[in-house]
Structure 1
């Protein structure tokens, strides 16, 4: 997909009705979730495109801005925990995820549950934040021990 250049060296890699995936070259990938109904096909499309960008760019860090993200359905949580996250860690070297918490309480509950499930099975460090600047600072200062 052709990249559209954002200000400050950001590039829009992919977008659909559910999210924008933005590359910060040499730094991290940002996912901006939109306040739109959550459909499995759209969620999975976003994550497969995210995985593709992680592989292409050789980046290991993701900033997921979940502020406007709706709740994730249980079957999609299962897919993320048992299929997508293990593949992303194994195939692309995905290692860090900074999550800006959602305003939707059901999304926060689902995300917390998902993070607990993933932590036990893959080498992925996840932290939750209330704002973009804190999340970005954590990502940029993170290195695997």
Structure 2
């Protein structure tokens, strides 16, 4: 594990449209705003911030995190409810994993109530909008530093 903590923050499909897509659910902040929020909360840690609409790319980054990251924060978006591939990749990690959602999936459509990702997550933050990312960064750093 690196001396300076490295936090991977991975974002799934359609999060590149944050601020434009369904702002009544996801808010008006952009993904660039979220990245800045994470960097400001990093307290000396290095943030590797990425987004992809492609499941395989997310799997590749999770596998990369096995050797490069101190903790992983993931907003898998729609893949939360469908991706056994993400679950399997996350299960290979020995670092803290924080699942982060802008909205509260449990308060939405029934198909959003199940998360494959939660089965491999150390913790879950949901329903707090972009502030959830800031809390996820702080929680990940606390987990790293208390290990």
TM-score if structure 2 supplies the norm length? 0.49
| Greater per-residue helix proportion | 2
TM-score between both structures, scaled by the size of structure 1: 0.50
Structure whose residues are more often strand by fraction = 1
